[in-house]
Amino acid sequence: MALKAYAVLEKDEYTGDIFFAKHSIVAAKTGANEYGDGELSYVQCRRAPWADVFAGKGVPAKVAVDHGWRFECSGCAITIDQDMESEHHLPVSGVIGSMHGTVYCCARCKWRRMKKEARRQEEEAAAIDDFKAIVRARFPDVEFCDDEDQFRGNHAYLTRSWGSRFWHRAEIMVAFRFPGMAIGPAHFRMDSHHKIGPTNAYYTCCNGDREAFEAYAKATRKVVH
């Protein structure tokens, strides 16, 4: 039996998606797990035969819009719906993306978003390099943990105000291994947490490595000075 498309919506806010299944109850349960805390009574499930042809492929957002669905543009945040052409002078045929994915109102909006993200990545890499240089000046023989994931290793989070060309370094962290380390890498980090005034960068390490790190810091301080 071929898979059929079902529109499963949460009853209060009417958020939902298209699910493919052989039977409506399977689609309803899947949608309930996603949008109704697993409660079937929280969602409604209806056939969406227009989407049958997209089973296993992904439903194009512009096709979904033609059938009453709406999205938020991932680039400029405008509402993408059947009124988009009259309100924003953008044709629905130019919508890019698919349900279950990132949706843009037009190709130019996608290009601008990708350009911005590329610039963000460049700025994040520069921030991490700056912090590495500070650590290297203080601890010349440490090994940076470039092989760790962003939660245990190097990480940078930058923000930029609407219309501004300047990036604010909101959070930066670099991880490094040091002589005597037994549990995990130490970090040099800065967290702004929206505080007023200048932010302070500081070193941290695992509690079990504290004595070893403090001894290492004391020993290298003698060499530096």
Do 203 and 155 lie in one domain? The reply is: yes
In a domain, 111, yes or no: no
- pTM for this entry: 0.73
- Specify the 3-state DSSP secondary structure of 41: helix
Indicate whether 216 belongs to any domain. Answer: yes
Cα 204 to chain centroid distance, Å, stands at 25
Question: Does some domain include residue 176?
Answer: yes
* Residues of the domain holding 79: 60-105
pLDDT at residue 225, as a whole number:
45
pLDDT level of residue 193 (50, 70, 90 thresholds) = low
Per-residue 3-state assignment (H helix, E strand, C coil) for 67-106: CCCCEECCCCCCEECCCHHHHHCCCHHHCECECCCCCECC
Structural domains counted in the chain: 3
Contact residues for 144 (Cβ-Cβ < 8 A; gap 6+):
132, 135, 154, 174, 175, 176, 177
- Same domain? For 197 and 167 the reply is yes
Q: Tell me, yes or no, whether 185 and 132 share the same domain.
A: yes
Strand, helix or coil at 172? strand
pLDDT tens digits for range 103-161: 999 999 999 999 989 999 999 999 999 999 999 999 998 999 988 776 678 999 988 77
Q: Which of 105, 136, 170 is the last residue of a domain?
A: 105
| Under 8 Å between Cβ of 175 and 148 | yes
Do residue 199 and residue 151 come from a single domain? Answer: yes
